[in-house]
Amino acid sequence: MSSWKPSPLMVRIFSAFVILGGVIGLVFAGIFGVYLLVLILGGLALWEFNGLSEGMGSRAPAWLLFPLGAFFAFSGTLLKAVDVNLVLALSLVGGLAAFLVVPGRRQGLSRWAMGVAGALYVGMPFNFYLLLYTSKPNGLVWTLFTIFAVVASDAAALLVGSRIGRHPFFSNISPKKTVEGAIAGVVAPILVMLIGVSAVIGFSPVHAILLGFLVGASAEIGDLVESQMKRLADVKDSSHLIPGHGGVLDRIDSILFPPILVYFYVALFHLL
């Protein structure tokens, strides 16, 4: 008699619920729970980027990638007293000087550039999530509805693309994506933002529509960017950390860029 084994779909669903429960729990635990969440997700994402970078041509130096990524993630909150120009200057002078002596110095410039790029790619989005979250009086609402809008974008793009998608969309990067799915991926976050921005917070529907479009478009760009990284590194997933889902970067790629655009939009129009 063979032993029972859960199906891949069951594993995927169970993993998703465990992760979602942990994320929601830490978000509602308060600022220190959110800081812990950023440390966990950001640290794992940086570790995965470090692995991908070697396949992309130049392995990011861990001694530069992790500290700089952590600084960028907390540069607007916990570490806002530290001058960004000072950190960038030290990263430039000290980072390039180190490659005069450390192993791998023949690829020093490209490895340094990969380390800085990875730190920005992972760290800065978390910084803007923290800036949204800590803004008063609607920081939690802005943060949650930004994430909800991205989730809606991903789900709509997958559903519509798999059911009625016929026209390829960036097929050289991600063969399964379609124009129909991409359109649905922009429409869905607009509907979510109409609920969040207009119904809950009470701002004009025009802001909701524009923010929904920005979230949907930037979520799809983020997804394509990470897909391109994996294609360059010749891997299917960023790692195998999450059963049935691949890696952390595979799950958060589409949520990395939206908070940046949302934060600057709401700051520009004084909606915070």
Judge whether 165 lies within some domain.
Answer: yes
Judge whether 2 lies within some domain.
Answer: no
Judge whether 1 lies within some domain.
Answer: no
Judge whether 36 lies within some domain.
Answer: yes
pLDDT of residue 179: 93
Q: What is the pLDDT along the chain (272 residues), one digit of tens a residue?
A: 456 666 665 665 676 677 777 877 888 888 999 999 999 999 999 999 999 999 998 999 999 999 999 999 999 999 999 999 999 999 999 999 998 887 766 688 899 999 999 999 999 999 999 999 999 899 999 999 999 999 899 889 988 988 888 888 888 888 888 999 999 999 999 999 999 999 999 999 999 999 999 999 999 999 999 999 999 999 999 998 887 778 999 989 999 999 999 999 999 999 98
Distance, in Å, from the CA atom of 23 to the CA atom of 180, rounded to the nearest integer, reads 31
Distance, in Å, from the CA atom of 23 to the CA atom of 28, rounded to the nearest integer, reads 9
List residues bridging with 242 in a β-sheet.
246
Judge whether 3 lies within some domain.
Answer: no
Cβ–Cβ under 8 Å, residues 48 and 247: yes
Question: pTM, whole model, 2 decimals?
Answer: 0.92
pLDDT of residue 21: 78
Where residue 170 falls (left for φ over 0; alpha for ψ -120 to 50; beta otherwise) is: left
Residue given tokens 């550039």 in the structure block:
113
Distance, in Å, from the CA atom of 192 to the CA atom of 151, rounded to the nearest integer, reads 10
* Nearest alpha-carbon partner for 220 in 261, 263, 186: 186
Residues contacting residue 200 through CB under 8 Å, at least 6 positions apart: 141, 145
What the block records as the tokens of 98 is 């180190």
- DSSP string computed for the chain: -PPP---HHHHHHHHHHHHHHHHHHHHHT-HHHHHHHHHHHHHHHHHHHHHHHHHTTSPPPHHHHHHHHHHHHHTTTTTTTS-HHHHHHHHHHHHHHHTTTSTTGGGHHHHHHHHHHHHHHHHHHHHHHHHHHHSTTTHHHHHHHHHHHHHHHHHHHHHHHHHH--SBSSTTT-TT-BHHHHHHHHHHHHHHHIIIIIIII---HHHHHHHHHHHHHHHHHHHHHHHHHHHHHT-SSS-S-BTTTB-HHHHHGGGSSHHHHHHHHHHHTT--
pLDDT of residue 193: 96
The number of domains in the chain is 1
The alpha carbon dihedral of 64, 239, 144, 186 has a sign of positive
pLDDT in tens, 106-149: 688 899 999 999 999 999 999 999 999 999 899 999 999 999 99
Query: What's the full length of the chain, in residues?
Result: 272
In terms of residue numbers, what domain contains 232?
Answer: 8-268
